[in-house]
Structure 1
């Protein structure tokens, strides 16, 4: 069950306060904490969509051993890429069947005790900048949790723009 509306507002207020400080690492930690409190997760990563839309590159991870920073994934020409990268739609993977459909590294995901995922597109002016990826145990995520997770994306738009600018 998600937190009460009052608790959700307090969580988003904390996130907004961090956003005002223009400190990207603090913002990413705050987004991690907010999503953990709002919908729960065992893995939180942030990925940029690289020019051309064929690959995503990780620049934030709560498990750098399994999912190191600067790790790239060829996701553009996949069913997941069609949904998230081309159509700018979120991905809700409720179980391992959905994880296998979406991710070539599904065995690694399963080995970490993960079996459900949400990917939230970060979109600015109709351009996909990247995604938030959260994963947890199988059957952890549902439509209600997806709807809540989607509300975090706008807080990260400017930070994602800065990350892209630094790529050159």
Structure 2
């Protein structure tokens, strides 16, 4: 299975189960302190050529350091850590779940689900975490491959 197909499989499984307006996957480059987008459901707003610096903030402490999923069900809960919150809102999204992909006690990437406000109930969050965990061995494998950008 290729990297795009595993990402697509997770995207479509989550969308079929609960609806997902925006889905992205980021691979982390700890050496260069960058996060590289490698899959997106919205290439115009969030192209796979996009990368961003890995900042130190409450999101990074929660997801990267504590290795826990980040859940925010209103824009106000993530606007301070997502500089692109206006773009997220313009796509009709106001809630987010970022699930870390962990390999040998290190976060190597995140799988990101976004939708309307209050979309991610505790039950839905648990389903998304389980979905990512089921695919973690393959995700870790493909996240180690060099990123081929269009």
Q: TM-score, normalised by structure 2?
A: 0.88
Within 5 Å, which residues of 2 pair with 1:78-117? 78-117=57-96
What is the match of residue 141 of structure 2?
A: 161
C-alpha contact 2:103 2:140 (8 A) present in aligned 1: no
Q: Which runs of 5+ in 1 are unaligned?
A: 1-21
Counterparts in 2 of 1:56 and 1:77: CA distance versus 1, 3 Å: same
What is the match of residue 42 of structure 2?
A: 63
RMSD: 1.9
Within 5 Å, which residues of 2 pair with 1:9-158? 22-52=1-31, 54-154=33-133, 155-158=135-138
Instruction: Flag the structure with larger Rg.
Output: 1
Q: Which runs of 5+ in 2 are unaligned?
A: none
Name the CA distance, whole Å, in 1 between partners of 2:137 and 2:76.
Answer: 31
Q: TM-score, normalised by structure 1?
A: 0.79
Q: Could you say what secondary structure the match of 1:152 adopts?
A: helix
Q: Return the structure number with greater helix share.
A: 1
Q: Which moved more, 1:40-49 or 1:67-76?
A: 67-76
Counterparts in 2 of 1:53 and 1:142: CA distance versus 1, 3 Å: farther
Kindly state the Cα deviation for residue 53 of structure 1 after the two structures are TM-superposed: 7.7
